[in-house]
Each structure stands twice: as structure tokens, then as C-alpha cells.
Chains A and B, each alone.
Chain A
Amino acid sequence: MTDTPLQRTPLFDLHVELGGKMVPFAGYEMPVQYPLGVLKEHLHSRAEAGLFDVSHMGQAWLEAAPGEDAAALIETLVPGDIAGLAPGRIRYSLLLNDDGGILDDLMVTRTPDPARLFLVVNAACKDADFAHIAAKLAGRARLVRLDDRALIALQGPKAAAVLARHAFGADDLAFMESGTFALDRVECMISRSGYTGEDGFEISVPAEEAEDLARRLLAEPEVAPIGLGARDSLRLEAGLCLYGHDIDTTTSPVEAGLSWTIGKRRRAEANFPGAARILRQLAEGPARKRVGIKPDGRAPAREGTLVLAADGREIGRATSGGFGPSVGGPVTMGYVESGFAAPGTPVTLLIRDKAHPATVVALPFVAPNFHR
């Protein structure tokens, strides 16, 4: 790491006021937990509604030059079918390098204006992502970074009812749909999406309005502030990838179990970065696969834990792992050789040099509760 000073989001003062324990994360000072604690914050988000500051993530407009189509342009960088998205619809997609390795995962929203798309990328990758996109599409499109906007996630089974009190009609959004709403008279872009496996929303709001908005939402009896700790355990139980851990440039979408993000038309056209390697893996099957691993005992198996076959041979490695509060026990995600990827396969986890029995399971660990 460099000694660049840490950045703060527009909600920094509010986090401190709420007793948030601030830690460095992706170049920002972010709350890892509040006085409620990671465990209760996690359970609250599954039962009620949690408010997450995700303003560190990168928001941008991709604006196509006259005569160009923004969806067609972004499709040269991602394997998703973006041109087939209806206006207002969101797609989870992957920014790929020429080998088909994953540079980042991102959300792409089609707007009513065919000349522009709304992008949300990971905080730790945003500078590299935006430089990559701008360079690849130079002369045909430009990126307009929305560094003057905060991003607030409201997640949980009560999120829709809470938000509807502040933004008329926001609860009519479908899952993975986005729209512009007056949220207590402030114009916001609201997406029905999230990173918890629960129903929920992500609200893009002008920075200067963010704290007031967060306070109004937190004043609702169902809403509690949730830190990065619970955000991580929620997404892990939901089987969602964390970039830099479960996916990176050494993993392909097929190995990562993200083949579903590769559009049918895109497969036929075979014109996305790394298409040759990815389509070969799709046809032949990858050598390794991302799987869920459930330790039989109580010891959590964290990132880096070796996965062994019955004969002691190393067959993989954990990429995320910890305690799953809703599962009530340890949960792990990682890559194993494809021969060991079938749910039910017994494996061994080497935790602090001790062998612990575990079982390969289908992801997610907790059934999703998305709005359909």
C-alpha cells in the first residue's frame, strides 16, 4: 500500500456519531461495525432492514459519442448481453481481460437514453476500471465519474416498506430494475439490487444530501446501520463473490460459477474478451470450480485454508470463509478441482495445521429472498 491519505465518504461524520468502528478499506475509512456488533447487524439485515454506506464504490456514466451505442460499446469489454436489456434494467456483469480473467465485477444499468449506461464498480478497482474502460473506448465514448454522489444500500425484508414511505412507488421496482425517484424531494437513482441475498435497494444520492437521507432512513424503526463486517458475512452466506478474493484476473467466469452472466447471443457471437478460452471451458468444463464448503465442525475456515482430498492431496483453497450467523456455523467458499466439485463430496480443510472434515455444498448457504 502507498501512504496516500485515506478518503472519507459523505457519511463519515455520521458513522463516527453512531459509534462506528472505523477501519481502512479500499482507500477509505469505513465502519466495520457499530455498537450492535457484526453478529446482530447481520441478523438484523435478514429480519428487518439494514443501511449500508457503499459510497466508496465507483459510480459513472458511460456516455457514447454521437452515432455510437453505449450498450454495443460496453459489450466489447464484458460478456453480458447489455444490448438486450430493456431500459431501466440492471445486469450483473464482468469486466474481462484479453485472457478472459476477471478485472472486476460490476453492475450495468440501461437508461432510457441509448447513449448512456450507468455503471457501479468496486471501490478497490474503480481507478483501474475507469482507466481501462476509458482507454478501450477512447474516441467512441467517455466516462463521467460521479464522485459527487454517495451510494446508500437499504437491504432486508422490510426495506421496500421503509423506502416506500420516502419514495412513492419505489417498492414497485422489480428485482434488478432501476428508476429515478423523488426521495423526500431529493432526486435519487434507486436500483432494486444488493449484495446480501435479501430484497433491497441501492440509492445513488447527491453527496450533500446523503447524510440527511441516511438520518431519515435510520429514524425508521426497522432500520439499523450495518458495517462492513456484516456486509461480508451476508454476501458470503448468499454465495456472492468478493472481488480480489473469490474472483480476480486468475479466475475465469466459468471457473467462478458465473457462466450465467455470459449471454446466449454473446456466446454465439464469441466477441467478448477472452472468448476463445471461456467458450472452450464452457464446452469442455473447467479444471477447477468455485464451490461452497461446509465445515462439519465449528471451526471457521478462512481465506487461504487448503482443501485436501481423502488421500491428503491438495485439491484447492478457500477464497472466503468465516462464521455465518444465519447458518449458525462456519461457511466457506473456494476453488476445488472439478472432480471434487459435486455437492456432497467429502473434503478435508487444513485449519492451523489440523485436518477438519468438511463437505462440498451447493451455493448459496442461505436461500435468497429477492423480490420477484
Chain B
Amino acid sequence: MSTIRYTEDHEWIRDDGTVGITDFAQKQLGDVVFVELPQVGQKLERGEPFGTVESVKAVSELFAPASGEVVAVNTELESEPELVNEDPTGEGWMIKLKLSKPDELKGLMDQAAYDSHVKRATE
């Protein structure tokens, strides 16, 4: 089981560099109808917008949880954006980064910290 870490903007990242949005985020968004992702090869700095996720209600920007080069994007989401709702931390993954500063992950929230972050957000 790989370690998963979270941003305050409700993205998750595994230590292998896979990135997506959390279950809390997909529930807040509602039915996802479009996901716009970067090209493979694009270099991202931590906190940089890398795409958008659009639900029936709203458009939200996606922010890179860590710095690195995009080495894979989930092209399934072009035709099946609903995967983000159905399996946000599995088949609904968005991009995979080759981390340029792996230590950045240490600055992100672990599961317990994220759970209390969500709790605060919903109170």
C-alpha cells in the first residue's frame, strides 16, 4: 500500500506521483462532466494549475500537489469523466508526475490530518 497525501485544495498524491481529487471533492462538485488535463511532458511547479474539472454545477481548477514532469494522463476521463465520481482515488486518477522534489510530499497532509481538514470544512 503506497502512502497517500493530501492538499488543502482536496487533491491527493501517492508517493509514485499519481494525482487525483478526493472523495470529499467529488461529492462537493457533483456529477463531473468534463476533465481537462495537461499534455505528457509538461513540467509543473507545486501549486501550479494543471487542469480543470467541471461538474454540472461548476468549474474548478486543479493544482499540482508537488513539482514534477507529467509522465501520464488518464485519457479515459475524456470519454468517461464520471469515473472521477465513481472511483476518485482509483480509476478516476488524473495525472502521474515524475517528482522533481520528492521531499515536497512531506509538507502535505497525511490521512488523519486530511480527515480533520475535511471535518473543519464541513462544520
Contact = CB atoms under 8 A, between A and B. Distances in A.
B112 interface: no
A229 interface: yes
Given A229-B57, A233-B56, A37 B34 contact: no
A352 B36 CA distance: 11
Given A298-B78, A352-B52, A32 B34 contact: no
Interface string A342-360: 0000000000100000000
Interface residues of A, number: 17
A299 B32 CA distance: 11
Interface string A10-45: 000000000000000000000011000111100000
Interface string A39-82: 11000000000000000000000000000000000000000000
Interface in A198-250: 229, 233
A299 B34 contact: yes
A322 interface: yes
B30 A323 contact: no
A32 B30 CA distance: 11
Contact of B34 (A38, A40, A233, A330): A330
A39 B36 CA distance: 20
B55 to A, nearest CB: 8
A100 interface: no
A38 B54 contact: no
Nearest to B36: A299
A300 interface: yes
A38 B57 contact: yes
Contacts of B34: 298-300, 323, 330
Across the A-B interface, give the 9 residue pairs with the lowest CB-CB distance, nearest first.
A323-B33, A39-B31, A38-B56, A298-B34, A37-B31, A323-B56, A299-B34, A37-B30, A38-B31
Interface of A: 32-33, 37-40, 229, 233, 298-300, 302, 322-323, 325, 330, 352
13 contacts: A33-B57, A37-B31, A37-B56, A38-B31, A38-B56, A39-B31, A229-B30, A229-B56, A299-B34, A300-B54, A302-B59, A325-B56, A352-B52
